[in-house]
Amino acid sequence: MAERIIELKNITKSFGSVYALGGVSLHVDPGEVVGLIGDNGAGKSTLIKILAGVIKPTSGEIFVNGEVVNNWSPARSRAAGIETVFQDRALAVQQSIVRNIFMGRELAGRFGWLDLNKQVSEAERLMREIGFTSKVFSPNSIVGQLSGGERQGVAIARAILKQANLIVLDEPTTALSLTETAKVFHFVRQVRASGRSIVFIGHNIHHVYDIAERFVVIDRGRVAMEKRKSEIGSAQELIEYMEEVARPEQAKLEELV
Amino acid sequence: MADVAKVNPTTPAGRHINERPLRKFLFGNRAALGSLAVFVAMLLLFFVANPRVFSTWGLYAAVLTTLPVALFMTAPLVFVVTSGEIDLSFPAMMGLASLAFAVVVQAGYDPFVAIAAALGVGALVGFGVGALVVYGGLSSLVATLGMNFMLRGVILILTNSKSIAVPQLSDSLAFQITSTEVWGIPVQILWAAAFVIFCALLYNRHRFGAQVHVVGDNPDSANEMGINVNRTRVKVFAFMGVGAALAGVFSTMINFTWWPTSGDGYLLPVIASVFVGGTPPWGGIGTVIGGAIGALTVSFIQTGVVGAGLSGFYVQFFYGLIIILSLLGHRFNQTRYR
């Protein structure tokens, strides 16, 4: 078996006295689609921000291609071929589409001077590739003028700029229209067909069930379940399980009342 | 297919409407063009008030001699404001860097060595101020205000508030190439123009400029995309120091004297120039060329008001008037995207 693209081992993260994550392990193998699900505040976003190097874990180890890494950072995460489409899309809305796509990864010569023409033509190519074209905007349009779906398109185009090994999508369909959601799913299938891995985080279990091959359920900072699709009968079963996970707390509350 | 062709707003050349050269130029430079309009309108007003005075070249030459000092600081300050910060310590940076220049010249070294010393001191002080603001997690508004006082204090303590005369500059090669006149045009303005063009390219066509924009626009996103936000901010302050050093060198060259107050008078005019030029105060966008035009406008007000035959008491009123009118103009000329 090929080495795991990334593996997080026993990750904990506390904000002051609040534990957001209490020892979570997560790995992604080459070419698989992992569905990361859990209730609001379960720690999904914290976990993927640790994966992306944005948040430093309180403790735990990170392995890339089987080797432990130190000083994990956003730049290192991207250099390792991990691209993240953040929930808030991480765009600079006063800047052009091109500048957003090449944010932190500008095409420049030896002395740092930008190759603007190449950036524009690359941006056009990427936008065509993900079916994200319009007569209304051009690569030099300001992101602030775009709709939510179009902005998501910019964030996705940025994620596939380099041949990433792993693309992490944090709630990519939130606040999108049906056609825009369909576009995102089309994109996910495209990426999977090209043999790259995906971590898909979502609220809509039906969506996640359709797309993912392996499911990791996070509940209150811990992994509550990890199963392959073959081990689960249907999306309904997954939903029932999620409800069961949420129940103990409810039961406790009822006892108190 | 016919439908597509009908709704497709491309030019015959197949360009997207936003990519048409003229449209692209107008939209890409609307803030700078707005500032240019303000400047031209102001100039016309002065000209109408007193056509005789405003037809003489001497008046313009006078402005072009002093304007460069402001330009060397206005352009880097556009970077600072775009990065979402402000610097109020550049006058003291200018004073300190030009002190180094004057001391090295007075010690008998070649002025080129002195220029290098000034640039070194400017960059170092700018780096220090930037590191304090960024790694100390301080508000740049308050911290640089404090640093301006403190660095000026250092200057006064070091020199006992005595000025330094450097008449030996007048026959140096450095003076010949930086501070003489060619066909009636002060050479300083050519250097300053070259610096402004370099800054504009750095701002729009260099990785550094691109990252300054993004950091000022959305620092969290910049960080998430692997840009070292803190380092970018510190670099911006160091660059401010370099600009202030150049300003100090040119100012000392013009006067053959270094004064302990060197730089003090530039604080408000340079800040006003940046905003009159069309760089908004919230960060993320701006214009170097606009800032240069803003500096031209601001430095012309005093000469213009007096030249137009008004008493000097009107100067401050016109400063304020131009600043407010420009801000109103830019307010309607630019939309803020969030």
Q: Is residue B39 part of a domain?
A: no
pLDDT at residue A6, rounded to an integer: 93
**Average pLDDT, stretch B155-172?**
90
Q: Is residue B297 part of a domain?
A: yes
Closest by Cβ to A106, choosing from B9, B28, B210 = B210
Indicate if the pLDDT at residue B118 is higher than 90.
yes
Residue in A with minimal Cα distance to B213? A95
pLDDT at residue B336, rounded to an integer: 79
Yes or no, beta carbons of B210 and A114 under 8 Å apart: yes
- Assembly ipTM: 0.90
Q: Is residue B211 part of a domain?
A: yes
% of chain B exceeding 70 in pLDDT: 94
Alpha-carbon gap: A257 to the closest alpha carbon of chain B (Å): 42
pLDDT at residue B231, rounded to an integer: 96
pLDDT at residue B210, rounded to an integer: 96
**Average pLDDT, stretch A216-223?**
90
Indicate if the pLDDT at residue A256 is higher than 70.
no
pLDDT at residue B8, rounded to an integer: 42
pLDDT at residue A2, rounded to an integer: 63
Question: Is A162 near chain B, with CB under 8 Å?
Answer: no
A88 burial via Cβ count (<10 Å: 0-12, 13-18, 19+): middle
Indicate if the pLDDT at residue A149 is higher than 80.
yes
- CATH number (3.80.10.10, 3.40.30.10, 3.55.50.30, 3.40.50.300) of A6-256 reads 3.40.50.300
**Average pLDDT, stretch A181-190?**
87
pLDDT at residue A102, rounded to an integer: 96
Using an 8 Å Cβ cutoff, are B29 and B324 in contact?
no
Q: Is residue B7 part of a domain?
A: no
- How many Å apart are CA A160 and CA A190, to the nearest integer? 11
**Average pLDDT, stretch B184-192?**
86
User: Taking the CB of residue B67, how many other CB atoms lie within 10 A of it?
Assistant: 24
Q: Is residue B107 part of a domain?
A: yes
- How many Å apart are CA B143 and CA B132, to the nearest integer? 8
Count: domains in chain B: 1
Convert chain B into a string of H (helix), E (strand) and C (coil).
Answer: CHHHHHHCCCCCCCCCHHHCHHHHHHHHCHHHHHHHHHHHHHHHHHHHHCCCHHHCHHHHHHHHHHHHHHHHHHHHHHHHHHCCCCCCCHHHHHHHHHHHHHHHHHCCCCHHHHHHHHHHHHHHHHHHHHHHHHHCCCCHHHHHHHHHHHHHHHHHHHHCCCCEECHHHHHCHHHHHHHCEECCEEHHHHHHHHHHHHHHHHHHHEHHHHHHHHHHHCHHHHHHCCCCHHHHHHHHHHHHHHHHHHHHHHHHHHHCEECCCCCHHHHHHHHHHHHHCCCCCCCCCCCHHHHHHHHHHHHHHHHHHHHCCCCCCHHHHHHHHHHHHHHHHHHHHCCCCC
Indicate if the pLDDT at residue A99 is higher than 90.
yes
Alpha-carbon gap: B204 to the closest alpha carbon of chain A (Å): 9
Question: Is A78 near chain B, with CB under 8 Å?
Answer: yes
Q: Is residue B90 part of a domain?
A: yes
Indicate if the pLDDT at residue B182 is higher than 80.
no
Taking contacts as CB-CB distances below 8 angstroms, the residues of chain B near A86 are: 221, 224
pLDDT at residue A202, rounded to an integer: 86
A131: confidence class by pLDDT, cuts 50, 70, 90:
confident
pLDDT digits (tens, 9 = 90+) for B199-240: 999 999 999 999 999 999 999 999 999 999 999 999 999 999
**Average pLDDT, stretch B78-82?**
97
- How many Å apart are CA A146 and CA A152, to the nearest integer? 10
**Average pLDDT, stretch A33-60?**
91
% of chain B exceeding 90 in pLDDT: 59
Residue A247's SS3 state is: helix
Question: Is A98 near chain B, with CB under 8 Å?
Answer: no
Indicate if the pLDDT at residue B50 is higher than 70.
yes
pLDDT at residue B229, rounded to an integer: 96
Domain that holds residue B172: 47-330
Question: Is B26 near chain A, with CB under 8 Å?
Answer: no
| pTM, two decimal places | 0.91
Closest by Cβ to A138, choosing from B19, B210, B225 = B19
Per-residue CA distances from B312 to A256, B301, B309 (Å): 80, 11, 9
The one-letter amino acid at B122: G
Four-CA torsion B126, B130, B132, B138, nearest 10 degrees: 140
Indicate if the pLDDT at residue B1 is higher than 50.
no
